[in-house]
Amino acid sequence: MIDSNTVFIAGHARLPQGMAAKSMFDTLTITAEIEMRYGVILEASCTLATDHGREFIGRALRGISLNDGIDATIKYLEDKYRGKATNALIAALRDLHTHYLQVKEVNCKV
């Protein structure tokens, strides 16, 4: 059963040329199931080409609170992810965070 206090949000960014994922997708997408009360990412995935890359990003994002902002997570990705998709991952995370803030604002008005 799906928790009524969770939302599924996606963030998108363009992939750089020369990436394996570019042959399958034009954009990189990060998706996340987010618990809205505290903004915690319960589960996350992305459209990187390898299982290992997708799992790494899922582990990196799981448990962070979007209510605290994303600066520390961006810093983590810059330090720990050493692939061509770093900038696309950061842009997709920023897009996801923007969508989260929009959903949060709408839910606060209800």
DSSP 25-65: -SEEEEEEEEETTTTEEEEEEE--SSHHHHHHHHHHHTT-B
User: What pairs with residue 7 in β-bridges?
Assistant: 34
Domains of the chain: 6-109 (3.90.1010.10)
The pTM score is 0.87
Who has greater pLDDT, 72 or 19? Answer: 72
pLDDT the model gives residue 25? 60
In 3D, which of 65, 86, 73 has the Cα closest to residue 19?
86
Place of tokens 């963030």: 11
pLDDT surpassing 90 at residue 110: no
What is the distance between the terminal CA atoms of the chain, rounded to a whole angstrom?
23
